[in-house]
Amino acid sequence: MNYNEIPRFATAFAQWAAVLGGANCLGFRYKEKSKTIGIAAVFLLLQTLFLEGTKDVPLFLWAPCMAFSIFMMYLFLRLESGGRRITVVYCTSLAFLTAEFTASTAWLFNVYMMANQVGTVWLGIILFFLASGALTILLAKGEKVFLTEEYMHQMTARELFGILSLVLTVFILSNISFEVSAAGAVGQSLRHLIFLLRPIVDFCGLAVAYAYQSRISEYMAAKERDAMQMVLRSQYDQYRYYQNTMEMVHIKYHDLKHQITGLRAETDNEKRKEWLDRLEEELEENHLVDHTGNQVLDTILGAKVFQAQRIHARLTCVADGKLLGFMHVTDICTIFGNALDNALEAVAMIEDQEKRMIQVFLTRQKQFISIVVSNYCGEHGPKQSEQGTYLTTKSDKKNHGYGLKSIRYTVEKYEGSMTIRQPNDWFELHVLIPIPNA
């Protein structure tokens, strides 16, 4: 039985493949495949030269050399993915653990082949690369299930510390053979056991890492669900408040109409007439959205019109509210409340008040309800992540960004769809909901 350590070129290949798997989870930085391939080729060459050049260093230099090798993996992943520093460090740690497992497992398979004289040395090396690559691809696909954009976006130093501690512990346990070899007086049976234990320890480390990520994902999902429920409740509470407010406004509106009628009958002063005309026009502007055919929508739009006026924005609406008759009150509040809140926040950042425009359309398109909420955004439009989703523009990224998610969640309850477009400096939210029994 050959108890030699894994060849350094094999370790370099395993680390290279594992980093590419991590980059695939994070999303590659460059769209041009030539750049990605070029960077990968350079890293494979440099990593192989470094590990081969340091294979005979004294034992006390072995740990620093491995640390530098991990740092090179970090640089490679940073260049290929361009992700946040904390997520790159996290994925580098997982890639290193993956490389340890794939290299030790594939090399164990190769050694047993040589011990049983199955094939040639070159065949063993080729099979090592194939086995290592196949294991890396399999593990990378498993990692991608957990390493979602939301998981990476919400990652903190706590999760990073947990995975770093795990990787360090597994690495020390799986590489104890270096210390044993240095001790000298070790029997063949113990060496055999150590040789077998290395891939087992690495596998256990990966299993713990998967379990750890699964628990974190469940926690984040529960946190997101609670946050979305808060958003839904907040929009409904706003609707109740707006409803009470609008009732007061309607009372004052009718009172003012009667006052204007009385004043007009009492005087023929032209100036006063002009003033009264302007006042009446302003009242009518506030009353434009009061007849959509849906009381809930009327209340929400009326409240948002007032908010728009406070920031000198123009909100125009063309809506057939009767189409929403089958929808629950909270769902109407969620869709229109969140969409208009986002639009109002976006136009408030536009310096030119003439460009602070918001448009709402609610129409029927064959067997579907079409909802379009659009606003001018200019250069202040939301940015897309590499996965294609939109990121919140607020500073508190942990507790915000649930508006669009809650809209999508609500729309999907009715088997509808939500899409976002950004044509010509405009941000457009499109919702299609099938009409029941249409």
SS3 sequence of the chain? CCCCCCCHHHHHHHHHHHHHHHHHHHCCCCCCHHHHHHHHHHHHHHHHHHHHHCCCCCHHHHHHHHHHHHHHHHHHHHHHHCCCHHHHHHHHHHHHHHHHHHHHHHHHHHHHHHHCCCCCHHHHHHHHHHHHHHHHHHHHHHHHHHCCHHHHHCCCHHHHHHHHHHHHHHHHHHCHHHHHHHHCCCCHHHHHHHHHHHHHHHHHHHHHHHHHHHHHHHHHHHHHHHHHHHHHHHHHHHHHHHHHHHHHHHHHHHHHHHHHHHHHHHCCCHHHHHHHHHHHHHHHHHCCCCCCCCHHHHHHHHHHHHHHHHCCCEEEEEECHHHHCCCCHHHHHHHHHHHHHHHHHHHCCCCCHHHCEEEEEEEEECCEEEEEEEEECHHHCCCECCCCCECCCCCCCCCCCCHHHHHHHHHHHCCCEEEEECCCCEEEEEEEEECCCC
Task: Kindly list the distances between the CA atom of residue 231 and the CA atoms of 326, 328, 402, 435, in Å, as whole numbers in the listed order.
Answer: 22, 16, 7, 25
With a pLDDT cut of 70, the percent of the chain lying above it is: 69
CA dihedral 121, 123, 129, 134 (to 10 degrees): -140
Q: Which pair of structure tokens corresponds to residue 385?
A: 């992540």
pLDDT: which is higher, 317 or 221: 317
Looking at 8-12, 65-69, 377-381, 387-391, which range is the least confident one? 387-391
Distance CA 200, CA 174 (A): 8
* Domain parsing of the chain, residue ranges: 8-226, 288-434
Q: Taking 90 as the threshold, does the pLDDT of residue 254 lie above it?
A: no
Q: CA-CA distance, 315 to 359, in Å (whole number)?
A: 6
- Position 123 scores a pLDDT of 67
Question: What is the pLDDT, as a whole number, of residue 347?
Answer: 93
Q: Are 99 and 18 in contact (CB under 8 A)?
A: yes
Mean pLDDT of 112-124: 64
Nearest to 235 by CA among 407, 358, 416: 407
Average pLDDT score over residue span 31-58? 86
Which pLDDT score, from 0 to 100, does residue 51 have?
87
Q: Which of 7-11, 62-66, 128-132, 195-199 has the lowest mean pLDDT?
A: 128-132
pLDDT tens for each residue of 206-216: 889 888 888 88
Q: Which two tokens stand for residue 266?
A: 């009492």
Mean pLDDT of the chain: 78
On the 0-12 / 13-18 / 19+ scale of CB atoms within 10 A, 310 is exposed
Which two tokens mark 139? 């593990």
What pLDDT digit, counting tens, does each position of 358-388 carry? 999 999 998 999 999 999 987 766 655 444 4
Contacts of 68 (CB under 8 A, 6+ apart): 50
Q: Return the pLDDT at 45.
A: 92
* Res 96 pLDDT > 80: yes
Does domain 288-434 fall under CATH 3.30.420.140? My reply is no
The single-letter code of the amino acid at 313 is A
